[in-house]
């Protein structure tokens, strides 16, 4: 690169700008352009959801959408109540949360407070690998491995269906354990050592330090980890599409029924050859908007919480 050598004395202003080569501005422009891509993505998502959704609600009233108990857009008698999809989603998310929260937090406390540093260095990458297993694999595992076991072990006669919400929820719970554990461990590691030492000095036991100092100290981070896990469960598609089925007629009152969730309805509807701009096609976008709003709220909450725990200790 040519180094600019100012020969004759130069005015002060040009010394400050002397090092600025014309390429610098262009490069910075490119970098800004790249950064704008992510903004454009968000705008693209909102635009692609908004217009078809508005069109959908031009034909179906919002009240019917929110309060209807039948979702049968692909049947001859069409009804557009989103409640069955919502209830299906809530079941799966609830079951996944009940499984993932204790397991994830327990594993995180162990890794952060009990495990030998060598063990932790070895186990944490494995957790990350576990988090990277494709969801289609979890779906297969749920349908062909977990579900037969579940049906065998089921105590009463009303056995779970071939595809059901319970087994999808269990598989999803297992799927989000690593996410919750990894993030919760980060939060617990951020709790200053001095707090632990203070507690030990007051003759606390290890368990007391873990449960009364570290967990409360990392609470907002732990809650953020849980919220992020819930948000992942809510938006997960392949496990439910494979293991919970695509039934949408009526609210699934029991988790051992097969039923669609918001995500699996979208996936199912997209596989049929729907004519573009038919009301059926628009349902994909209306349900997509509902899903987006739910996850957006959860993400916003989790971002706030993470910020809070960073502020406290950093």
Binders of other proteins in range 255-274 (CB under 8 A): 263, 266-267, 270-271
- 48 scored as a contact of other proteins (CB under 8 A): yes
What does the alpha-carbon distance between residue 113 and residue 41 come to, in Å, rounded to a whole number? 40
Residues 211-230 binding other proteins (CB under 8 A) are: 211, 228
- 137 scored as a contact of other proteins (CB under 8 A): yes
Shortest Cβ distance from residue 185 to other proteins (Å)?
7
Binder among 94, 103, 195, 279 for other proteins (CB under 8 A): 103
- 49 scored as a contact of other proteins (CB under 8 A): yes
Distance (Å) of CA 243 to CA 95, 147, 164, 269: 14, 8, 6, 16
Residue 113 buriedness (CB in 10 A; 0-12 / 13-18 / 19+): buried
Q: Residues 240, 169: contact at Cβ < 8 Å?
A: no
- 138 scored as a contact of other proteins (CB under 8 A): yes
What does the alpha-carbon distance between residue 265 and residue 181 come to, in Å, rounded to a whole number? 30
The residue (of 106 and 158) whose beta carbon lies closer to other proteins is: 106
Binder among 141, 147, 213, 305 for other proteins (CB under 8 A): 141
- 8 scored as a contact of other proteins (CB under 8 A): no
- 158 scored as a contact of other proteins (CB under 8 A): no
Half-sphere exposure of 65 (CA within 13 A, CB side): 15
**Which one of the spans 55-63, 72-80, 134-142, 249-257 is the region binding other proteins (CB under 8 A)?**
134-142
- 128 scored as a contact of other proteins (CB under 8 A): yes
Residue at token pair 């162990």: 110
Residue 44: count other Cβ atoms within 10 Å of its Cβ.
Answer: 11
């Amino acid at each position: 690169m040519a180094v600019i050598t100012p020969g004759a004395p130069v005015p002060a202003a040009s010394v400050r700008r002397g090092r600025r080569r014309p390429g610098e501005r262009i490069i910075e422009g490119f970098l800004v352009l790249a950064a704008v891509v992510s903004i454009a993505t968000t705008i693209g998502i909102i635009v692609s959801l908004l217009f078809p959704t508005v069109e959908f609600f031009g034909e179906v009233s919002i009240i019917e959408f929110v309060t209807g108990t039948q979702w049968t857009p692909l049947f001859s008698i069409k009804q557009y109540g989103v409640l069955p999809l919502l209830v299906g989603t809530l079941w799966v998310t609830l079951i996944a949360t009940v499984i993932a929260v204790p397991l994830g937090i327990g594993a995180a406390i162990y890794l952060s407070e009990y495990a030998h540093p060598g063990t932790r260095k070895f186990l944490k990458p494995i957790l990350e690998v576990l988090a990277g297993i494709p969801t289609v694999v979890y779906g297969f595992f749920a349908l062909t491995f977990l579900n037969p076991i579940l049906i065998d072990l089921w105590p009463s006669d009303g056995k779970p269906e071939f595809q059901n919400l319970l087994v999808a929820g269990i598989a999803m719970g297992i799927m989000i354990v690593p996410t919750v554990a990894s993030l919760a461990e980060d939060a617990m590691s951020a709790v200053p050592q001095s707090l632990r030492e203070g507690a030990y000095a007051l003759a606390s036991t290890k368990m007391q330090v873990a449960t009364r100092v570290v967990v409360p100290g990392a609470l907002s981070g732990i809650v953020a980890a849980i919220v992020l896990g819930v948000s992942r469960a809510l938006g997960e598609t392949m496990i439910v599409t494979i293991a919970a089925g695509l039934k949408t007629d009526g609210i699934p009152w029991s988790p051992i029924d097969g039923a669609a969730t918001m995500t699996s309805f979208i996936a199912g509807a997209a596989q049929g050859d729907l004519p573009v701009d038919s009301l059926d096609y628009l349902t994909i976008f209306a349900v997509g908007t509902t899903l987006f709003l739910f996850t957006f709220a959860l993400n916003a909450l989790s971002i706030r919480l993470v910020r809070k725990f960073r502020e406290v200790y950093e």
